[in-house]
Amino acid sequence: MMRQLLSSFTDKKTYAFILLFLGSCFGFLRFATDAESYIIALFFALWGSKVIFSGEKIILASLLLSISALFHQIFVFWWIGLGIYIWWNYEQHRLKSSIKYISVALIVPVVYFIVFRFTKNDCDNLLEFIFHDYVKNPSIFISLNSTIFLMTPISLIRTFIQVHGYLSPFLHKYFWALIPAVIAGIFFLIGLFRLKGSITKKSATAQEHKYAYSHLLIFALQLLFAAISNGNAKFMFMAPFVLAVFFFVKYAIKFSPVFYFSIGIFLWNLSLAAIPLHFLQTSADEPMAKYIELHPDKSYFFPKYERLDVLLDYQLPDKKFNIYHSKAELDSLIHTGNTVLTNAVNNTVIVSRGSMLDNNTDLFSNYTVNIVDSINYNLGTLYISSVK
């Protein structure tokens, strides 16, 4: 779909390497190899962008963007961006076109209501169902603290290239991976030098101008929402695609820098992200999940639990375990004489977005903590401690 969209604005050789660049971006690579719905939603969003530019297909575009938003709510911002494009572009039939666009999107609340009404869920009303994770999951929330100024640029960088705390132990143990990483760095540097004189502004039509800036608006809305969600990189993964639409509609960019950046990002993310994440245990969550499977009757306390919960639900969907997450639950268990196992202390913390947002230093200050078991994995050792 991206190929068809770009083919109107650049030559075949250039857009072939743009596609390599976009497909190699870590944000896309991450969800293309994971059980998430983002990629399907992106497909329908790009399809919507394509048809709205090719002619007066407002109903089809709104339908495609509505389907995209049903696969993942974050794509509501893409729908808003194209809605503003329609308002800008269809000056003679602005109100009529906008009504058509909005009317089709009413299928979204209708579908939500049907699913809410006729499926089993833990919500009391439709709004709670729509905003389920924000209502039911205390670890997911809107934030306006100073952390967003650190996490947002880091997450935006990670949308393009993988930067993560596991790279330090990974490269220390598998030093050969430095070879493709260094080659990737060289390609990046050559690409930067080749940028000079390679970008010229096109004499875009009024429609192309509005189309380009509507996609820049989509990027801005996605970035803003990701920022107030503690710089959540998941909400930025479509950024390279909307930025590609903006830049290649507005500017003529020569093939040379596109080639070098594409090869560089491919080598970097293949050697430092795709291969290690697929073949190695880069975090202690996998061995911890295996330990819980072998000791299902014990009580566990995990203040950071999202990925571990997903692993257990995926591997053992029909089993229930004694897993607790809140300080109040921990206090209650200890006061009733239970011994609780945890991985939240005595372990080397790999720097990540999650570890930078965690604040668990005082959780165990009133209790006795002892290491009771350990498990080696690819990049380190997991220590399991008892809390009494």
Q: Quick one: average pLDDT of 260-286?
A: 93
Q: What residue spans of 55-177 are helical by DSSP H?
A: 58-71, 76-89, 94-104, 107-118, 126-130, 132-136, 148-160, 167-173
CB neighbours of residue 359 within 10 Å = 8
Percent of the chain with pLDDT over 70: 94
**Which string of b and e fits 140-150 if b means at least 16 CB within 10 Å?**
eeeeeeeebee
Q: Are 86 and 58 in contact (CB under 8 A)?
A: yes
Question: Lowest mean pLDDT: which of 68-77, 229-238, 307-316?
Answer: 307-316
Q: Quick one: average pLDDT of 129-140?
A: 75
The tally of CA atoms less than 13 A away on the side-chain side of residue 212 is 19
Query: For residue 303, which of 347, 338, 345, 337 has the smallest C-alpha distance?
Result: 345
Domain boundaries, the chain: 2-164+203-247, 285-387
d(CA 30, CA 11): 28
- pLDDT for 65-115, tens place per residue? 999 999 999 999 999 999 999 999 888 888 999 999 999 999 999 999 999
